[in-house]
Structure 1
Amino acid sequence: MSSEAAESSRAGQVEESGEEKAGWSRQRPWVALVSVPVVVSNEDEQAQKILPGTDVLLDFQDPPRPSYLVLPERIVPDPKFDNCFPYIVATHPSGRLIFHATQSRGNLNTAYFLCDAHSRTATRLPDVPVSQLRFNLRPRRSIGLIAYPRRTGHYIVAQLHPTSSTRHDTLLYYSTHTHEWAVKRLASSPDHKPWGAHGVFSHDGMLWWVDVAYGMLTCDPFADLPHLRFVPLPFGSEMDDAVVHRVFLDQRRCVRPSEGKLRYVEIRGLPLPHDPTAAVSSLPDYAAVCMWTLVDPEGPNHWEFEYEAPFSEIWADEGYIKAGLPPQKVPALALVHPNNHAVVYFFHGTSLFAVDMRARRVLDCEECLIDHHLQLQFQTSRFVDAWELPPTLLRIDPSAAGMEGPEDGELSMTDLMWGSDEELASLMSQMELKSQADEELSLVELMNMLKDLAPSSESSPWSSPSDASDQADEP
């Protein structure tokens, strides 16, 4: 498909990430999105809030309070059968996400849906054609979502095959532009240890498949012949097959984007437990959180060390004690603040709390239950993630820029609005024309400018039932 090669994400990287280059993405609001959607029956009160013509409800809250994707039973007919609960496999900062859900009891009939946060719709992806069934999608955290660099509003959903192997040779993908599944043979692929699945990220025009035991695999999915490269973890972090207890990896390791770069976080200083059902380890005073930043994926020195924070100093923080968090117990990793890589979130039971790692200070703590039917071992980085929200979901509030601390300059969920991509393009175009004479604009100036350009009134997606008639007319 030469047309796709011409639209290589490398060639269109400036178009796709120009907003990030300008620094706007650092000010985007975000939510701590729980990966397990909430499924409601028709009689449920939340089901009544799903507006006519829409498929989902997005329950947005300010972090560290959890946010949820709410689905009706018509999309997930039997959400609890055989533990095949629905699961969000990938998100994108454009306001799209991919989730899967079983469609009938007694079999593994799994459907994948592309959800649009703007319209609150969920479109089922077509099944993989019979001719390509041997490359069928697997319900694992190995599915990526990436935007076309020059086709606004279109995406590729992709998975490497074989999904669990020591070498991949094929890329299975679905294009929203062609509405078809297709297969690409990889031009090259490295040998590696048996690959696990700890998420897929769209970053720097590439897709990045993560196995936190070993490293990352990356390629440009828009190339005619993609070259798959292996980026190992920082020196000393790669694990041996014989000692990998994968049930614990999501508690102790994660790779997440933050401030436009990929960050690797690891809890060090803990022995590997022998009981796979045990809780996160307690006691060791030498346990610490370490972070590295990916600086050169193609060179000899891939990672740059950022910091090490001993838990003994975090436990001594007054905020930790006031939050009622248990002393001398090592928590599980949850996520990394997408706008401040010095802030890492952890789980202690159902408590989700943020820590400024450089100051060793607890910033906030809230209750975050992944699912009432799941065990506490699911309170890990596998089941919650930071989802950055697009500017099309913003209502600009200049007073938000005056907030102090690591959240400085961010906007709260109460400032969200719904808008179309076309509306945003128009606003941003006007803003560019107004700001051509200025070499640099502050965040407050940018927000004031957008406020002046924005429509005078917008309906909130979380208005009272009396506003439902107005919301039903939204695009």
Structure 2
Amino acid sequence: MSLRRLLALSAAVPGRLRRPLSTAAASRPPWVLVSQASAAAGSAPRSTAHIVEPPRFSSIVVPALHVNTSAAPDPDSDVTQVLVGRVCSTSGDGLVLITVFDVRATAPILAKQGAKRVRQVTGIDPEHSPEITRFLCNLLTGQLTRLPDIVNGPRHCGPQLGVLTQADRGHGPPDRFAIAELQGNMMFRFLSDTGDWEVAVTAPCKLPLARPVYFERGRHDQEVFAFGGRLWWVDLTWGAISADPFSDQPEPRFVELPRGSVLPARSTGPTGRVLRTIEEGDALRRCALGRYRRMGVSQGSLRYVEVWDREPFVLSSFALGDEGSGWTLEHRVVLSRLWADGDHPWLPLPEKTTPQIAALDPLNGDVIYLMVGRHVVGVDMNREEVIGSSPQRTDCIPCVLPPWLESSRIPAAGKKDDDENKTLADVLVRSDGNHAK
């Protein structure tokens, strides 16, 4: 998501969220849709999560106190400081990776009310290089760990960063975590075992064609996700590359999309505002494939879903066989027919409105969440019916909330015998906003 889009979304997040749901297992959902737009506000030393059941989306506020910022602009100028947050990835077991940007926005002063200035944000200052802060957060307890700043490495890595946890016993609370971004034959990563950012050389990745993958250009179709002890980076024209960030020499593996879904390699796309040819329109559409295609984890399997961006809006779902043996078409539903006879608040669809994929239900392979106009809509493809909707719209990521999450801590970072790196959690703070001390 662009900074401009995040800036607009962050303005809609209230500074004080409603009281979170209880973290008792009986009163909280087993998983949530986490809004990718997070907020950094106030001087409280705690993070706050507003947890609600899908199709509504949950949200996070991290304390601005722990965000890297540059010198504040002149309060009488037309430039203001805005802290814009983005949930980049989830670990699959309740930990979320958040990046906060210290953005300078052009915001003319409309009026002055004593020391308070009323402004209207009109854009982002392109001359300002934002400070960047990265956090790992336990969604239920609010425990927050700030990752070390990147000193030697690609400072602006972020959209392709994913987080993966590992438990020594194979299940239960994690004992270690890794945060990584794949860049060609290099992996830039942070390992909790060492407490440092480092570069690892990967083994060669065998691709079926000699063409670049989209994320190697510094762009991304969707968030990185965790599955099968590996992180997955997706190029929605072609397939996904996965790798184990804990390995001394990660071995990338490629999984191609279902045969009928593979598209030609992307061009650089049209440069002008006017699309002069059909080919330019197709190129632009492929740059926005994250709206109509998604790969993810559901019910313990790797799945891929896509929806036509034209009437009659056909939604298809595929599951990958064991050991990557091939894709199986599980569902194909005509959305226009599915909700044609219902009294749904998003109907009739305004002109040029098309259903877009929001998320896969991580616990039910039959359920997909769509964004339709200003609504998030849950569809059960097996029963061919709408199972719920919410008059909210945002970019979101599914996050499972296992029972042990409410009592577990983020794994300590750094060598166990290194007092200087005891725990990054102790460097920062653990929120007690969602449970009693």
- What TM-score results when the alignment is normalised by the length of structure 1? 0.63
Alignment of 1:294-443 (within 5 A): 294-299=320-325, 302-318=326-342, 321-327=343-349, 330-370=354-394, 383-393=395-405, 418-420=406-408
Aligned to 2:251: 227
Q: Distance in 2 between matches of 1:98 and 1:313?
A: 39
Task: Determine if contact 2:333/2:384 at 8 Å carries over to the other structure.
Answer: yes
Task: Determine if contact 1:118/1:420 at 8 Å carries over to the other structure.
Answer: no
Q: Which amino acid aligns with 1:173?
A: R
For structure 2, the 5+ residue unaligned runs are 1-27, 73-78, 105-127, 268-281, 411-431
Q: Distance in 2 between matches of 1:194 and 1:83?
A: 33
Q: Deviations over 1:280-307 (max 9, x none)?
A: x5xx23x3001101114544xx211111
For structure 1, the 5+ residue unaligned runs are 1-26, 43-49, 162-167, 271-280, 371-382, 394-417, 423-459, 464-470
Aligned to 1:195: 214
Question: Are 1:293 and 2:319 counterparts?
Answer: yes
Q: 1:114 offset after TM fit, Å?
A: 1.3
Q: 1:123 aligns with which of 127, 145, 159?
A: 145
Compared with structure 1, are the counterparts of its residues 248 and 181 closer, same or farther at alpha carbon in structure 2 (3 Å cutoff)? closer
Compared with structure 1, are the counterparts of its residues 308 and 369 closer, same or farther at alpha carbon in structure 2 (3 Å cutoff)? closer
Question: Are 1:31 and 2:32 counterparts?
Answer: yes
Partner SS state of residue 85, structure 1: strand
Aligned to 1:170: 186
Q: Which amino acid aligns with 1:37?
A: S
Compared with structure 1, are the counterparts of its residues 226 and 73 closer, same or farther at alpha carbon in structure 2 (3 Å cutoff)? closer
Task: Determine if contact 1:296/1:303 at 8 Å carries over to the other structure.
Answer: no
Q: Distance in 1 between matches of 2:346 and 2:133?
A: 42
Partner SS state of residue 296, structure 2: strand
Residue identity (%): 26
Compared with structure 1, are the counterparts of its residues 204 and 215 closer, same or farther at alpha carbon in structure 2 (3 Å cutoff)? same
Q: Distance in 2 between matches of 1:81 and 1:291?
A: 45
Q: CA RMSD in A?
A: 3.0
Partner SS state of residue 98, structure 1: strand
Q: Deviations over 1:403-452 (max 9, x none)?
A: xxxxxxxxxxxxxxx32369xxxxxxxxxxxxxxxxxxxxxxxxxxxxxx
Alignment of 1:144-163 (within 5 A): 144-150=162-168, 152-161=174-183
Q: Distance in 2 between matches of 1:126 and 1:353?
A: 38
Task: Determine if contact 1:255/1:263 at 8 Å carries over to the other structure.
Answer: yes
Compared with structure 1, are the counterparts of its residues 194 and 219 closer, same or farther at alpha carbon in structure 2 (3 Å cutoff)? closer
Task: Determine if contact 2:98/2:134 at 8 Å carries over to the other structure.
Answer: yes
Q: How many residues align?
A: 329
Q: 1:169 offset after TM fit, Å?
A: 0.9
Higher relative contact order (CA 8 A, sep 6+): 2
Q: 2:63 aligns with which of 52, 55, 72?
A: 72
Q: Deviations over 1:223-277 (max 9, x none)?
A: 2222212111100111222444345312210112110111100113x4xxxxxxx
Q: 1:213 offset after TM fit, Å?
A: 1.7
Q: 2:130 aligns with which of 108, 113, 138?
A: 108
Q: Which amino acid aligns with 1:74?
A: L
Q: Distance in 2 between matches of 1:95 and 1:352?
A: 22
Q: 1:316 offset after TM fit, Å?
A: 1.9
Q: Distance in 2 between matches of 1:256 and 1:116?
A: 21
Compared with structure 1, are the counterparts of its residues 75 and 233 closer, same or farther at alpha carbon in structure 2 (3 Å cutoff)? same
Partner SS state of residue 37, structure 2: coil
Q: 1:104 offset after TM fit, Å?
A: 6.2
Aligned to 1:260: 300
Question: Which structure has the highest strand share of the two?
Answer: 2
Q: 1:333 offset after TM fit, Å?
A: 1.0
Compared with structure 1, are the counterparts of its residues 350 and 215 closer, same or farther at alpha carbon in structure 2 (3 Å cutoff)? same
Aligned to 1:164: none
Question: Which structure has the highest helix share of the two?
Answer: 1
Task: Determine if contact 1:154/1:176 at 8 Å carries over to the other structure.
Answer: yes
Q: Which amino acid aligns with 1:150?
A: D
Task: Determine if contact 1:160/1:171 at 8 Å carries over to the other structure.
Answer: yes
Q: Deviations over 1:351-390 (max 9, x none)?
A: 11111112221111112243xxxxxxxxxxxx21211102
Q: 2:197 aligns with which of 171, 181, 188?
A: 181
Q: Which amino acid aligns with 1:227?
A: E
Q: Deviations over 1:61-97 (max 9, x none)?
A: 1111111012233345699979983111111233211
Partner SS state of residue 312, structure 1: helix
- What TM-score results when the alignment is normalised by the length of structure 2? 0.68
Q: Which amino acid aligns with 2:55?
A: P
